[in-house]
Amino acid sequence: MSKLPSDQNAAAALRHVAFVGAGPGDPDLLTRKAYGALLAADVVIYDRLVSGPILDLCRAEAAMISVGKEGFGPSKPQADINALLVEHGQSGLRVVRLKGGDPTVFGRLDEEIEALDAAGIGWEVVPGITAASASVAAIGQSLTKRGRNQAVRFMTAHDMQGFAEHDWHALAREGEVAAVYMGKRAARFVQGRMLMHGAAPATPVTVIENASRPDQRIISSSIVRLEADLAKAGLSGPALMFLGLAPRAAQMELQEGIAL
Ligand code: SAH
């Protein structure tokens, strides 16, 4: 392969945006590649979900632009974010589009890539640890387990129209495991759908708030108690809900017949 002359090389390299996964919040869960991209960035366009300690790693001279996107909170319209990416992507500066967790999981990554493609701007994706991985680590369980579940769903309880429909019948089967993103406000909906489709009322549900962060909380619940337990917990941070998984300690007690 012939090399481009260095000035062309530089020009080509400069029309570029790196989509970087910030992971769930703990800076030690950044990949080395993500860390390197943050240290080098001139412009960082980030979502609200990205934790403060991670933003603090960026250079003091870097332009930090919040686009405030998280679940259904206030945010810039996607078209504005796309326009911002294109504007900075062609500036010749090192641009990082920093997203919570992994950019490919409920991250609207494709829309942003399409905008860059349309403008002839290069891009790369630096994967990150998704909230489901950090949350399952917090409760000492596996996402999949031989003899229990050979598949796991990453689902959202919301879509653009409101609550999202799923194959509730399949989800209600014993042993199924699903990680529900953006599920805080959908507890009653999920509870209703699961019961309606035959889930055992005692099916474990675990909610992990602020996974991997100093204020991490674990709420061990069940389908039938879910709404009441969440109302009592009063969650304020990002929270992931596992259907079909209990924290390992709670599961051991259940198996030993000790009432929780
Ligand atoms: N791309 C992100 C998910 C974006 S959707 C990822 O891969 O993790 C936003 C949802 O992710 C939140 O509503 C919450 O359900 C979940 N989430 C993100 N960070 C979290 C954390 N530290 N603890 C618990 N849930 C988290």
- Whether residue 260 is predicted with pLDDT greater than 90 in this model: the reply is no
The CATH homologous superfamily for domain 131-255 is Tetrapyrrole methylase, C-terminal domain (3.30.950.10)
C-alpha 157 to ligand 1 mean position (Å):
12
More confident residue, 99 or 6: 99
pLDDT of residue 165: 85
The full set of domain ranges for the chain reads 10-126, 131-255
Q: Of 69, 160, 240, which is best to mutate to test ligand 1, by the most ligand atoms within 8 angstroms of its C-beta?
A: 240
Q: What is the per-residue pLDDT for 162?
A: 78
Q: Which atom of ligand 1 is nearest to the CA of 208?
A: 24
* Radius of gyration (C-alpha) of the chain in whole angstroms: 21
* 100 CA from centroid of ligand 1 (Å): 7
Residue of the CA atom closest to atom 6 of ligand 1? 101
Which residue has a Cα nearest atom 4 of ligand 1? 106
Q: Which residues line the pocket of ligand 1, CB cutoff 6 A?
A: 24-25, 49, 70-71, 99-102, 105-107, 130-131, 135, 181-182, 208, 210-213, 238-240
Lowest mean pLDDT of 12-21, 119-128, 170-179, name the range.
12-21
pLDDT at 213 over 70: yes
Q: Which fold has domain 10-126?
A: Cobalt-precorrin-4 Transmethylase; domain 1 (3.40.1010)
**Given this model, what pLDDT does residue 70 score?**
54
Whether the predicted pLDDT of 6 surpasses 80? no
Looking at residues 48-64, what average pLDDT do you find? 96
Catalytic option among 42, 69, 145, 184: 69
Q: Assess contact for 153 and 175: CB atoms under 8 A.
A: no
Give residue 166's pLDDT.
87
* pLDDT surpassing 50 at residue 259: no
Asked whether residue 227 carries a pLDDT value surpassing 60, the answer given is: yes
The whole-number average pLDDT for the span 193-211 is 97
- Burial pattern 195-215, b for ≥16 Cβ within 10 A else e, equals beeebeeebbbbbbbbbbbee
pLDDT above 50: residue 3? no
pLDDT of 1 higher than 60 = no
Distance 192 CA to ligand 1 centre (A): 23
Given this model, what pLDDT does residue 159 score? Answer: 73
Q: Which candidate in 3, 7, 47, 76 is catalytic?
A: 47
Looking at residues 213-221, what average pLDDT do you find? 97
Per-residue model confidence (pLDDT) at position 152: 97
Of all residues in the chain, the percent with pLDDT exceeding 90 is: 80
Expressed in angstroms and rounded, the spacing between residue 238 Cα and the centre of ligand 1 is: 6
Q: Give the residue with greater pLDDT, 162 vs 36.
A: 36
Residue nearest (by alpha carbon) to ligand 1 atom 13: 182
The pick from 50, 72, 106, 208 for probing ligand 1's pocket by mutation, whose C-beta has the most ligand atoms within 8 angstroms, reads 106
Region 173-187: what's the mean pLDDT? 93
Q: What band does 184 get if pLDDT is binned at 50, 70 and 90?
A: confident
Same fold, 10-126 and 131-255: no
Q: What is the pLDDT of residue 13?
A: 56
Residue type, 220: S
Percent of the chain with pLDDT over 70: 88
Q: What is the pLDDT of residue 163?
A: 81
The CA distance from 224 to 230, in Å, is 12
Nearest CA to ligand 1 atom 24: 239
Active site residue 47: yes
